[in-house]
Structure 1
Amino acid sequence: MFTAAATVASCAGFVLIGALQALYGPSIPSLREEFGLSPSAAGLGLSAHFVGGVAGVLLFDRRYGRTSNRRILGASYLLMAAGAAGFALAPQWPAALVAAFVAGLGFGGIDYGLNQLFSIGFGHRSTAMLNILNAHFGIGAILGPALVGVVGSEHYPALFLAFALANLPLLLCLRGVRDHAPHPTDQPGPDGHADTKVDFVPVPVPVPDPLPRFDADAHATNADAVRRAPAHAALRSVLAVFVALYVLHVGIEAGVGGWEPTHLETVGHGAGAAATATSVYWLMMTVGRFLVAPVALRFSAPAIITVSCAGMTACLLLARVPDLAPYAYAGVGLFIAPIFPTGLPWLNRAAPRARRAGAVVIAASMLGGVVAGPALGRAIEWSGVRAVPLILAAVSAVCLAATLWLTRATRTHRPSA
């Protein structure tokens, strides 16, 4: 679905959305000074961005298949550029919030759109390419705060404007994006064979035939409906567990990023060391996605995510040991990295007829990041900061259980040769 130039441009687009998301936080001191905001009010900028992001995911999904991929991606880049420019030039805080929402619309469209197209557009290499794509998001997330540190938060308008302009050249590369994608059921799996039967294989339900011959058509219709019922129930269950996996693992990702410095300082590490360890955590997430790309060509998505969840759980338990905690959190970043991009091709192969499945789990992942803060904060109020690793390890164990359940529920059946 992508030419080489379009693939490179897509990775550049993910660098930009990663940088955009990361620019809001470091800009808060200058935003408070310029608009006279409280800390909570200044934080609404990122909240408006995420709300726009969820809306952008759902909007892209609604237009997917009805409008050309080039046109939707182009509109998303333009919305993100317009929102970033509006945020930089907004004369009042309400106008800045509207601009952040508009930027979020474009952000969500690009995030979902490119993830969706990469998940079906590269055949058996889709999982590897998705990990590479999302690794570039991490590069942007590291780059954004670094730029703020270099130029100073008081110059945040210049950074947002520069970001807006950087979106525009990417529009020229959209000609390399095809508008028609292969069907998910035609995609080859990691072993190189087409997953021709990757949907659920329900056990047939025997239906008695007490109906008279003159009502045979009605009988056939009723029997077919009864046979389809288990498949529909299985599909709903699998989608629900996928959503839970995405919400919970993004909650862990946000929870470690938000509470690692506090936990490390509580157990005796200095503030500087704690901040450095948190930066290493985010760096390891980026490195992990690059490292798993070649692995994804040889191993299945269920196997990769199972190992990731198990390793993440083990590292969070090790983080309970003060001397090992900084290294254990780095391990969490390494193991959690493949889950988001690796799960999308698995979902597309497991539920090829559920067209909205990708939009649901990506929107859920964004909401998971929003909900994680208050939920984890409440748990910490009850148990104390030292319990952060154990709380997150418990959530990670649920992710592992969900992955094992999904592995069994979506096990494919291949016809004999």
Structure 2
Amino acid sequence: MKPSAADRLFSRPAAVASCVGFVLIGMLQALYGPAIPGLRHEFGLSPSGAGLGLSLHFTGGVAGVLVFNAIHSRISNRALLAWSYGLMAAGGAGFALAPGWPLALAAAFLGGLGFGGIDYGLNQLFAAGFGDRSTAMLNVLNAHFGIGAVLGPAVVAWLGPDDYPYAFGACAVLAAALVFAGSSGVRTRVSDAPPVKTGGEGLGLSRVLVGFLVLYILNVAVEAGVGGWEPTHLETIGYTATVAASATSVYWLMMTAGRFLVVPITLRYSPERILAVCAAGMTVCLLLTLVKGVAPVAYAGVGLFIAPVFPTGLPWLNKALPQAGRAGAWVIAASMIGGVAAPPLLGVGIEASGIHAVPWLLTVLSGASLLATAWLIRLTRRSAS
């Protein structure tokens, strides 16, 4: 059912500002990698030392999701978004202006807190704020994250790695503007009431929630694993470095396009049916990456199929666990942990089996995601009956 104007959480300008906010968090996250050469030159860092900036950003992101989830029942939606944008503004400005690496890392963590607040807050509010259109709107929202993730490296490439402070400074200015523009059209009411616990539901709730946690960890592990290891795998099987890098860019672009393309489909089919097709599709595409002649196209197909999973799963979670409060916060935090842990863990498997094992390792993860999706469909249908 389409919400009335009185019940709508977002005005149209606020919804547009929220999409801009997701462009911002996508861009901010994507700046750290391309800025590494500039960071090494500025602070005299090793490659691993320079990589700590992104690690602290993600650590702050997980903390931000959990902290804002904990206090959301005591503050308004507007306050949650305003504080989150404010933290990103402070973090971006601090990282751009930091005179030393320890202060830059502290700023990365601070910006990450705001990043986590926006990632949690807008996903949670969009999942509840648009009625039957929530799944479609979540895909539109998260597609703008992909736009930012493409823009970030492009900006650093245009400026040059040594001028990375200007890129972080621009993010800080945009975040400061969104402190007001991004929250003013959002209803100030405190969101969902505390969880209603009734007898006999604890076991069912825990099983469904664990299922969603597993699903999100596996999907983000595949997402990050492809993004991290696709270029190395393609080069190993004979493609040039240019082709491998271009194919990886296409993979990320397909993730963005897929979220726009699925919007009309979400208006006709249930989230669980869409996720089942996505899990099967990305598993088949990963198997096709074993065939050298079609591997780059197959990786693009993985991006297309995995694109709707994160935003489409949240409305399904809210429908499956309406009495579980903000369970979405836990799956968002779990997805961030999966994104951080997956590339190095896959690296261990690759060291043991060789780079040619990349498609097999990713297929195992994707196949497990398909099984988790089927298990969740069975669990949620049983609890609804």
Q: Does 1:129 align with 2:99?
A: no
Q: Does 1:341 align with 2:349?
A: no
Native 8 Å contact 1:25 1:46 kept in 2: yes
Q: Of 186, 195, 198, which residue of structure 2 is paired with 1:177?
A: 186
Cα gap change, 1:128 to 1:412, in 2 (>3 Å): farther
Q: Of 20, 31, 45, which residue of structure 1 is paired with 2:28?
A: 20
Report the Cα distance in structure 1 between the residues aligned to 2:340 and 2:176, rounded to whole angstroms.
29
Q: Of 162, 168, 191, which residue of structure 2 is paired with 1:160?
A: 168
Aligned counterparts, 1:303-382, within 5 A:
303-382=273-352
SS of equivalent to 1:167 = helix
Q: Indicate the residue corresponding to 2:37 in structure 1.
A: 29
Report the Cα distance in structure 2 between the residues aligned to 1:355 and 1:97, rounded to whole angstroms.
33
Cα gap change, 1:414 to 1:243, in 2 (>3 Å): closer
Q: Indicate the residue corresponding to 2:269 in structure 1.
A: 299
Deviation (angstroms), 1:182: 7.6
Deviation (angstroms), 1:169: 2.2
CA-atom RMSD in angstroms: 1.6
Of structures 1 and 2, the larger Rg is shown by 1
SS of equivalent to 1:320 = coil
Q: Indicate the residue corresponding to 2:93 in structure 1.
A: 85
**Unaligned stretches of 5+ residues in structure 2:** 1-8
Q: Of 209, 213, 218, which residue of structure 2 is paired with 1:243?
A: 213
Q: Does 1:54 align with 2:70?
A: no
Letter in 2 for 1:165: V
Letter in 1 for 2:335: S
Cα gap change, 1:22 to 1:255, in 2 (>3 Å): same
Cα gap change, 1:312 to 1:6, in 2 (>3 Å): same
Report the Cα distance in structure 2 between the residues aligned to 1:356 and 1:166, rounded to whole angstroms.
28
Deviation (angstroms), 1:65: 2.1
SS of equivalent to 1:178 = coil
SS of equivalent to 1:26 = coil
Report the Cα distance in structure 2 between the residues aligned to 1:112 and 1:359, rounded to whole angstroms.
6
Deviation (angstroms), 1:179: 2.5
Deviation (angstroms), 1:162: 1.1
TM-score (norm 2): 0.95
Deviation (angstroms), 1:413: 7.6
Native 8 Å contact 2:35 2:164 kept in 1: yes
Cα gap change, 1:412 to 1:117, in 2 (>3 Å): farther
Report the Cα distance in structure 2 between the residues aligned to 1:160 and 1:142, rounded to whole angstroms.
15
Deviation (angstroms), 1:171: 2.6
Native 8 Å contact 2:90 2:111 kept in 1: yes
Q: Indicate the residue corresponding to 2:110 in structure 1.
A: 102
**Unaligned stretches of 5+ residues in structure 1:** 185-198, 200-223
Report the Cα distance in structure 2 between the residues aligned to 1:280 and 1:409, rounded to whole angstroms.
36
Letter in 1 for 2:364: A
Native 8 Å contact 1:84 1:99 kept in 2: yes
Report the Cα distance in structure 2 between the residues aligned to 1:183 and 1:86, rounded to whole angstroms.
34
Q: Indicate the residue corresponding to 2:147 in structure 1.
A: 139
Deviation (angstroms), 1:316: 0.0
The CA deviation string for residues 250-275 of structure 1, in whole angstroms up to 9 with x for no partner, is 01000000000000001110110000
Native 8 Å contact 1:120 1:182 kept in 2: no
Deviation (angstroms), 1:154: 0.8
Report the Cα distance in structure 2 between the residues aligned to 1:95 and 1:182, rounded to whole angstroms.
35
Native 8 Å contact 1:77 1:167 kept in 2: yes
The CA deviation string for residues 154-177 of structure 1, in whole angstroms up to 9 with x for no partner, is 110111111100112223332210
Report the Cα distance in structure 2 between the residues aligned to 1:147 and 1:316, rounded to whole angstroms.
31
SS of equivalent to 1:324 = helix
Report the Cα distance in structure 2 between the residues aligned to 1:390 and 1:282, rounded to whole angstroms.
21
Letter in 2 for 1:89: L
TM-score (norm 1): 0.87
Report the Cα distance in structure 1 between the residues aligned to 2:236 and 2:191, rounded to whole angstroms.
52
Q: Indicate the residue corresponding to 1:202 in structure 2.
A: none
SS of equivalent to 2:256 = helix
Native 8 Å contact 1:121 1:182 kept in 2: no
Report the Cα distance in structure 1 between the residues aligned to 2:290 and 2:188, rounded to whole angstroms.
50
Report the Cα distance in structure 2 between the residues aligned to 1:293 and 1:56, rounded to whole angstroms.
28
The 10-residue stretch of structure 1 (405-414 or 59-68) with the greater mean CA deviation from structure 2: 405-414
Aligned counterparts, 1:155-234, within 5 A:
155-173=163-181, 174-180=183-189, 228-229=199-200, 231-234=201-204
Aligned counterparts, 1:66-77, within 5 A:
66-77=74-85
Report the Cα distance in structure 1 between the residues aligned to 2:180 and 2:339, rounded to whole angstroms.
33
Report the Cα distance in structure 2 between the residues aligned to 1:286 and 1:395, rounded to whole angstroms.
22
Report the Cα distance in structure 2 between the residues aligned to 1:394 and 1:254, rounded to whole angstroms.
15
Deviation (angstroms), 1:338: 0.4
The CA deviation string for residues 71-91 of structure 1, in whole angstroms up to 9 with x for no partner, is 111000000000000000001
Deviation (angstroms), 1:414: 7.5
Q: Indicate the residue corresponding to 1:218 in structure 2.
A: none
The CA deviation string for residues 320-340 of structure 1, in whole angstroms up to 9 with x for no partner, is 001110000000000000000
Letter in 1 for 2:281: G
The CA deviation string for residues 83-104 of structure 1, in whole angstroms up to 9 with x for no partner, is 0000000011000000000000
Q: Indicate the residue corresponding to 1:386 in structure 2.
A: 356
Letter in 2 for 1:180: R
Deviation (angstroms), 1:357: 1.1
